[in-house]
Amino acid sequence: MTTERAPQPTTAMANPPVQPLASNLLPGDVVRASAMRDLPAPERQLTKVAKLIDVSRCIGCKACQSACIEWNDTHPEVEENVGVYENPHDLTPDMFTLMRFTEYENPETNEFEWLIRKDGCMHCEDPGCLTACPAPGAIVQYSNGIVDFISDNCIGCGYCVAGCPFNIPRIHKTAHVSKKCTLCSDRVAVGQGPACAKACPTQAIVFGTKDEMIAHAEMRIEDLKERGYENAGLYDPQGVGGTHVMYVLHHADKPSLYADLPDDPKISAVVKGWKGAAKDVGLAAMGLAAVGAMAHGALARANEVSAHDDAEAQEMVAHAAGRLTVEEEAARPPEGAP
Amino acid sequence: MTGEREYSAPGDEIETRKPVTVSRYRGITRLNHWVTAFTMIGLILSGMALFHPSLYFLTGLFGGGPTTRWLHPLMGILLVLSFLLLFLQMWRLNLPRREDAEWLANIKEVVKGEEENLPELGKYNAGQKFVFWGMSGLIVVMIVTGVMIWEQYFPGLVSIPVRRVAVAVHALAAVAAVLIFIVHVYAAIWTRGTIRAMTRGTVTGGWAYRHHRKWLRELAGRRKADPAE
């Protein structure tokens, strides 16, 4: 086994190095992990990476889906054709990325537009899934920005589904673990770009450092504007701290046109409250109540039955018994009889 | 039989007269209570493990995270069924009565353990009724929200925004239930002579006279139930 670390990939275009290389995405590169607060400081800062999906260049061929299936060795179920282009019908535990097709009649130009968006994990800088996850280390974020699910630590509870602002994670029905796009962390670790970007025939999907991808997007946006798409722009939503999967959209003013891409995604306030204040205040309240009860038990006088109470009870029962008829009293079994 | 029961449940009776012991819970009710209690403890431990990272180690009690994840909702179903049986036996005597307001107004005396100036009570005081109705309501909230977030069997039952609310409400209801659980357990310990009602099934006459005098009075006024009842 070689000890030479793979270089960080800066493109999906170049052919990968052919010599054996050791992984360059290490446990020490984890900057955040689910349900773990006191993580050791990362040993180094990797260059932030990103995947840029230029919707205007996508031809809907689904090569990215095929590449994803092949690289991740998933086996999506073969489904019925129901008259739409989405195939499979949705993201599934075996389909981490999905071309979503929207037929849009632009009211300004009266032109028909076919909007095709490659859906999948956005790799948020502030990931809702990681915030919601209760299992320590089941969701991690590396210093290059990749958000990854560690199946060995995943318990399959589905909290990540509630946490995600993009409706991405899917729970595997038999493995009972959550699945989503890994941004090909296992390829990136050895110096290669994501499989989908590698396979894309029109280079609608490109991969590199986040800075380079933003610069590349600006070029594309300029081009689109020259061609009349004056609202063209970059989708790098700041509500989740920016994402490591970004889109170039011809209608960046209306992201929801693209199969309900959220206009302003952010981690739900409900999720933040549940995972923030509720968690700590709740634990404190339960702890205080338990400690308080124990302290009261140790220090305060217990509520004891007095001899007077016993005597009064005796009197009450005897008095009532006195109302029984003589026959009934005689028929009553003696005290202590089985 | 002499008269209708107003303050007591079937099976409640004067067990022995010298000294006085009073039967408070039948064997089947006690079994029902302890099934509910141990299920609740299992639910609290497994739920706490998923509630706060610092308590995740509790999953070890159940055989790991994934086992805890599938076991918790099943215990929840068991609890609902078990609690439902308790509810059916106890709801009538837990209905609020006029004397509960007076008892609550003098809650300070209760906490001091000075019950001399308090109204006479039936089988349950206002505190016990609060525990009963509080638990009943919270269990309904938790089973409804629990099903909504039961990924294994109901993954698409509700939309994701509803699911977010459900998961938060489930956690808050659980915190409230734990607080009520603590009140329930502590009150039973602090009020000496109470635990035996759920172990042996009987309480002393003095206990009944001190805390539930109307209940004792009604039982004292009844003939001992004949075996055919």
> 3-state SS of chain A: helix, strand, coil percent to 5?
35, 20, 50
The pLDDT value recorded for residue B224 is 54
| Domain presence at residue B45 | yes
Inter-chain contacts counted by CB atoms under 8 A, chains A and B: 170
Q: How many residues does chain A have?
A: 338
Q: What is the DSSP letter of A176?
A: -
Please name the residues between 53 and 82 in chain B that touch chain A, using a CB distance below 8 Å.
53-56, 59, 65-66, 68-70
B170 is catalytic: no
Question: Minimal CA–CA distance to B73: which of B174, B184, B181, B185?
Answer: B174
- Evaluate whether A82 touches A69 at the Cβ level (below 8 Å): no
Decide if A306 touches B, using CB distance below 8 A: yes
Subunit contact A268:B175, Cβ cutoff 8 A: no
The one catalytic residue in B33, B72, B170, B184 is B184
Structure confidence by residue, pLDDT tens digits, A145-175: 999 999 999 999 999 999 999 999 999 999 9
Task: Name the token pair of B58.
Answer: 């509790």
| Domain presence at residue B226 | no
Counting the structural domains of chain B, the total is: 1
Residue with the bigger pLDDT between A237 and A331: it is A237
Contacts of A313 in chain B (CB under 8 A): 20, 204-206, 208-209, 216
In which band, very low, low, confident or very high, does the pLDDT at A334 lie, cut at 50, 70 and 90?
low
Residue A261, pLDDT above cutoff 60: yes
In which band, very low, low, confident or very high, does the pLDDT at A325 lie, cut at 50, 70 and 90?
very low
> 3-state SS of chain B: helix, strand, coil percent to 5?
65, 5, 30
Decide if B224 touches A, using CB distance below 8 A: yes
Structure confidence by residue, pLDDT tens digits, B16-71: 998 999 999 999 999 999 999 999 999 999 999 999 999 999 999 999 999 999 99
Decide if A309 touches B, using CB distance below 8 A: yes
Return the CATH number at B176. Answer: 1.20.950.20
Average pLDDT of the residues in A274-302: 94
Subunit contact B69:A309, Cβ cutoff 8 A: no
Q: Which residue of A has its CA nearest to B204?
A: A310
Strand partners, A220: none
Task: Name the token pair of A110.
Answer: 């009266």
> Predicted ipTM?
0.90
Subunit contact B204:A313, Cβ cutoff 8 A: yes
pTM of this structure: 0.92
Subunit contact A278:B175, Cβ cutoff 8 A: yes
Distance (Å, whole) CA A73 – CA A85: 23
Subunit contact B178:A289, Cβ cutoff 8 A: yes
Subunit contact B206:A312, Cβ cutoff 8 A: yes
CATH topology of domain A27-267: Alpha-Beta Plaits (3.30.70)
Measured in whole angstroms, the distance separating CA A142 from the mean position of its chain's CA atoms is 15
Distance (Å, whole) CA A290 – CA A133: 27
The pLDDT value recorded for residue B2 is 54
From the list B168, B185, B221, which residue is nearest A274 (CB)? Answer: B168
In angstroms and rounded to an integer, the radius of gyration of the C-alpha atoms of chain A is 31
The pLDDT value recorded for residue B229 is 42
Contacts of A286 in chain B (CB under 8 A): 175, 178-179, 182
| Domain presence at residue B114 | yes
| Domain presence at residue B94 | yes
Please name the residues between 253 and 272 in chain A that touch chain B, using a CB distance below 8 Å.
268, 270-271
- Evaluate whether A46 touches A144 at the Cβ level (below 8 Å): yes
Q: What is the DSSP letter of B93?
A: G
Across chain A, mean pLDDT equals 93
From the list A302, A309, A320, which residue is nearest B209 (CB)? Answer: A309
Residue A326, pLDDT above cutoff 50: no
Distance (Å, whole) CA B45 – CA A283: 13
What are the phi and psi torsion angles at A50 (to 5°)?
-155, 155
Residue A134, pLDDT above cutoff 90: yes
Q: Report the b/e string of A72-91 with b at 16+ CB within 10 A.
A: beeebeeeeeeeeebbeeeb
Question: Minimal CA–CA distance to A196: which of A209, A208, A206, A211?
Answer: A206
Please name the residues between 34 and 53 in chain B that touch chain A, using a CB distance below 8 Å.
49-53
Q: Is A92 exposed, middle or buried (0-12, 13-18, 19+ CB in 10 A)?
A: middle
In which band, very low, low, confident or very high, does the pLDDT at A320 lie, cut at 50, 70 and 90?
confident
Q: Where are the domains positioned within chain A?
A: 27-267, 279-331
Residue A205, pLDDT above cutoff 60: yes
Question: Minimal CA–CA distance to A73: which of A93, A50, A90?
Answer: A93
Q: Which residue of A has its CA nearest to B146?
A: A157
Q: Kindly give the residue spans of alpha helices, DSSP state H, lying in chain A.
A: 63-72, 128-132, 159-163, 185-188, 195-199, 210-226, 269-275, 277-299, 307-321, 326-331
Subunit contact B160:A167, Cβ cutoff 8 A: yes
The pLDDT value recorded for residue B116 is 81
Subunit contact B53:A332, Cβ cutoff 8 A: no
| Domain presence at residue B5 | no
- Evaluate whether A117 touches A261 at the Cβ level (below 8 Å): yes
Decide if B191 touches A, using CB distance below 8 A: yes
| Domain presence at residue B4 | no
DSSP-derived 3-state class of residue A235:
strand
Pairing of strands A49-54, A245-249: parallel
Tell me the DSSP string of A90-156: S-BTTBS-EEEEEEEEETTTTEEEEEEEEES---BSS-HHHHH--STTSEEEETTS-EEE-GGG---
